[in-house]
Structure 1
Amino acid sequence: MLRRTALALATSAAALLGAVPLAAQAHAGPGGPVPPPIGAPGLGAGPGLGAEQDRLTVTVRDAGAGDGRFVLRCRPTGGDHPDVAGACGRLAELAAEGEDPFAPVPPDAMCTMQHGGPATARVEGTWRGRAVDASFSRTDGCRIARWNRLVPVLPATGS
């Protein structure tokens, strides 16, 4: 009985730290296995948690020095994007603000008639557990603002 209590306490303490091997959980006692903590690695417990990865392919054209096709990985960071840390940081900021950085301009938006240059971009992949396929341009004030909100995921342009 004392051994079972000690094992259950040790397993519970380890579970709180997120370090319980499955073999130890299987022997947690009469109550069954101790579930791992919410958000433990590999559980896909929600946005920003679990084993999911953000993997985006960013293709930029006619933006000047920022042209090209880049892979951006966040959670964990990596890829050949020119500013992996800055881009992942910006996406994390927008997520924390509850914004969808890939949402299109609403069809009924009132946009200023200005032209921000010929730059276009497409972002495809997975972000926060959902598929992304978004196109960007700088053809009016709304689309320029949408582009600028994603810098440095998209390159800053001179316009």
Structure 2
Amino acid sequence: MPLRRLALPAALAAAFVTSLTSLAGAASAGPLPPLPLLSPPDALTVTVTGSGNPEAEGSWKLTCDDRPGGDHPAAARACERLAGFARAGENPFAPVPADALCTQIHGGPVTAQVTGTWQGRRIDARFSRANGCEIDRWENMEPILPSVRG
């Protein structure tokens, strides 16, 4: 009888661990649809430094809920771009994969940091133009990030 008592809790524990593993895998797969009533509003802070262009440097707020807001210089277009990522199920804030093969071209010393909330997720992403992959990632984020092409 004691073995039966141990077998059921062990089976339940294994099922629980399997469900947690499945949930963790789903969470890392990309953006999830927002929970309309529970999600915080989409609000990002974009900070750009090192561009050498005063118009492309600074820190801006961007909100994209009912209508574009904040002091971002291209708020409407930036919110449209973010909405496109959401519709496509893409996570534009994901870093370049560690095993990516990137051309070794340098796009300049400019960097950006984007923090806040998007699609119910906390965002803290860094962008640069250090190589071909990072340049593509930056340009994919335009107009959220400013165009700094030479």
TM-score category (smaller protein): 0.7 to 0.9
Which whole-Å CA distance do the structure 2 matches of 1:111 and 1:75 have between them?
35
The structure 2 residue matched to 1:57, chosen from 45, 51, 58, is 45
Residue 98 of structure 1: how far off its partner (Å): 1.3
Match status 1:129 vs 2:120:
yes
Give how far 1:85 is off: 0.3
- Structure having greater relative contact order (Cα 8 Å, sep ≥ 6): 2
Amino acid at match of 2:50: D
TM-score after normalising by structure 1: 0.68
**1:52-106 Cα shifts (integer Å, max 9, x gaps):** 3100000001221210000000113210000110000001111111110100000
Residue 34 of structure 2 corresponds to residue 47 of structure 1? yes
Instruction: Name the structure 2 match of 1:87.
Output: 78
Equivalent position SS for 2:117: strand
Unaligned runs of 5+ in 1: 1-45
State the secondary structure of the residue aligned to 1:117: coil
Alpha carbons 2:129, 2:135 under 8 Å: kept: yes
C-alpha separation between the residues in 2 aligned to 1:129 and 1:55?
A: 10
* Conserved 8 A contact 2:111-2:126: yes
Asked if the contact 2:40/2:117 (under 8 Å) is kept, the reply is: no
Q: Which structure shows the bigger proportion of residues in helix conformation?
A: 2
CA contact (8 A) 2:64 2:79 kept: yes
Superposed structure 1 runs of 4+ greater than 3 Å apart: 48-52
Report deviation, 1:49: 3.3
- TM-score, structure 2 length as denominator? 0.72
Identity value in percent: 52
